[in-house]
Chain A
Amino acid sequence: MMRDDKIKQMILSAAKQDAPDLKARIKSDPRFIPKQKPSWLNVLKPRFIPAFSALSIILIMFFVFFTTPSQETIAASTIYMEINPAIQIDLDEEDEVIEVIALNEDAESFIQFLDNFKGKDVLEAIDLIVEKALAQGLLDENRPVILYDVVSENAQLSTALNQRIENKIPEIASKRLPNLDMFRGNSRPHDEDRDTPVSNPAEIMRNNLIRQILTEFPDDYTIDDLRELSIIELRRILVPQNGPPPGGPGHNRR
């Protein structure tokens, strides 16, 4: 009897043979021109980079030792957004972006499509993230859901920031996606989860959403029912759109 690894090799080989050869077709497309770095860089590179590098190091050392505080910028508040991918946005006291961080593997590709966000106001950043997510096909009218949370050690800052975001959502929706459903979750681990190994805030928000459903519909769902559902599906249980949610209230799934 043939071994599985030999079967798998046969499948891989057949798949590779069947994958179409579109090179000629792609090259004949007028869009077949890679975006290149500006040509002036190519001219300057061999001549001036060493000099610029040395000057840059001197300037950086000057600013580090003589002007800026010695401590690194610490986020005054943080926003977690679960669009699938999941991202984290660190903000300073002025609600301006310090850094955008990928919270899962899918997000590592996604944040590469985000232009430099550092220094942008949080609302502008969120608007651009929604725009890019739409362009990437991560959001559309059938999948309009974003789960987010705002955290800060300063409760006043967090409340004010959340209010700003809530006030901005309708504007983003009317501009980008009319049925956008951007709702606040909870990224703080529940007491029952404090000892579990889950540390990713996006995962914690998801777990807390599941916990909310189990609390509101104790007779209708088990944790196994909900564990594999997407954020959209979980949200539809709490906020049905068209008709009853999947296995909704009254449907005994135990």
Chain B
Amino acid sequence: MDNDKINTYVKRLKNGDMTAFDPLYEATKTNVYYTILVILKDPSLSEDLMQDTYLKMLDNIQKFKPRYTFNAWLSTMAKNLAINTYHRRKREMGMPEDAEDFLLPKTESSAEKNYYLTALMKALNGEEKEVVIRHVVLDEKHKDIAKAMNKPLGTITWMYQNALKKLRKEAGEDDA
């Protein structure tokens, strides 16, 4: 969905037209969810924060100015909430070691749902998944990913290329 269309929905939402919420959610959910997930590495917690993000968005919707990008504005909100939660949980209980399969919720109900991204990236380790999600899904530059993951830029570039190689190999084997 292009920015003009999104801004139209935002304007409707500002005027109290709640039917604009659904299309706005669909246009932004991928960015918001994965922005939170790459920080918290916990799908269930990420869903909770995602809910909070959209509610906070509604609370602050009148402050949004159309000259800014709504997706970026919302993602910044999500990122700040996630960072806050990450630091709070680290203080209170210590965050668990980064899981290889942080895309998959650790609940019984997760067995019922198809997780396409998990299946697609099964050949990748946890860090490779994070690099691929940040670059491909969230459109982050490699140097920003390097900063976020506290790794040298060269390492991130290499990890990304290696991940693509593995994905190509998986897809190539599947196609055979």
CB distance from A72 to the nearest CB of B (A): 21
Complex Cα–Cα for A7 and B120 (A): 10
Task: List the B side residues contacting A13 at CB < 8 Å.
Answer: 116
Of B87, B116, B153, the most chain A CB neighbours within 10 A belong to: B116
With both beta carbons as reference points, the residue of chain B lying nearest to A18 in the complex is identified as: B117
Given contact pairs A17-B117, A18-B115, A34-B58, a sample of 11 additional A-B residue pairs in the complex whose CB atoms are under 8 Å apart: A14-B116, A19-B30, A20-B47, A20-B50, A26-B25, A26-B55, A36-B15, A109-B72, A112-B64, A113-B63, A136-B80
CB distance from B158 to the nearest CB of A (A): 15
Task: List the B side residues contacting A19 at CB < 8 Å.
Answer: 29-30, 33-34
Specify which of B61, B68, B153, B167 is in contact with A7 (CB 8 Å cutoff). Answer: B167
B106 adjacent to chain A (CB < 8 Å):
no
Name the prevailing secondary structure of the B interface residues: helix
List B residues 105-124 near A (Cβ within 8 Å).
Answer: 114-121
Specify which of B80, B119, B120, B147 is in contact with A228 (CB 8 Å cutoff). Answer: B147
Known contacts being A10-B120, A109-B68, is A23 close to B22, with CB within 8 Å? yes
Complex Cα–Cα for A105 and B168 (A): 34
With both beta carbons as reference points, the residue of chain A lying nearest to B50 in the complex is identified as: A22
B99 adjacent to chain A (CB < 8 Å):
no
Q: Can you list 28 residue pairs at the A/B interface with Cβ under 8 Å?
A: A4-B164, A8-B136, A10-B120, A11-B121, A12-B30, A14-B117, A14-B119, A15-B30, A16-B30, A17-B116, A18-B116, A19-B30, A20-B29, A20-B43, A21-B29, A22-B25, A23-B21, A23-B22, A34-B14, A35-B59, A35-B61, A108-B68, A110-B76, A112-B60, A112-B68, A113-B63, A142-B87, A228-B143
Task: List the A side residues contacting B84 at CB < 8 Å.
Answer: 137, 140
Q: Which residues of A contact B (CB under 8 A)?
A: 1-2, 4, 6-8, 10-23, 25-27, 29, 31-37, 105-106, 108-110, 112-113, 136-138, 140, 142-143, 228, 230
Of A4, A12, A19, A106, the most chain B CB neighbours within 10 A belong to: A19
Question: How many residues in B have their beta carbons less than 8 Å from beta carbons of A?
Answer: 60
CB distance from B161 to the nearest CB of A (A): 10
Task: List the A side residues contacting B117 at CB < 8 Å.
Answer: 11, 14-15, 17-18
B136 engages A113 (CB within 8 Å) = no
Task: List the A side residues contacting B68 at CB < 8 Å.
Answer: 108-109, 112
Q: Which residues of B contact A (CB under 8 A)?
A: 13-16, 18, 21-22, 25, 29-30, 33-34, 43, 47, 50-51, 54-55, 58-65, 68, 72-73, 76-77, 80-81, 83-84, 87, 103, 114-121, 132-133, 136-137, 143, 146-147, 152-153, 164, 167-168, 171-172, 175
Count CB-based A-B contacts (< 8 Å): 135
With both beta carbons as reference points, the residue of chain A lying nearest to B13 in the complex is identified as: A34
Complex Cα–Cα for A108 and B64 (A): 11
Task: List the A side residues contacting B87 at CB < 8 Å.
Answer: 137, 140, 142-143
Task: List the B side residues contacting A136 at CB < 8 Å.
Answer: 80
Known contacts being A1-B168, A18-B115, is A12 close to B81, with CB within 8 Å? no
B51 engages A228 (CB within 8 Å) = no
Known contacts being A15-B34, A15-B133, A109-B73, is A22 close to B47, with CB within 8 Å? yes
Complex Cα–Cα for A35 and B65 (A): 15
Task: List the A side residues contacting B137 at CB < 8 Å.
Answer: 11-12, 15
Complex Cα–Cα for A25 and B48 (A): 10
Complex Cα–Cα for A109 and B117 (A): 30
B58 engages A35 (CB within 8 Å) = yes
Complex Cα–Cα for A193 and B84 (A): 36
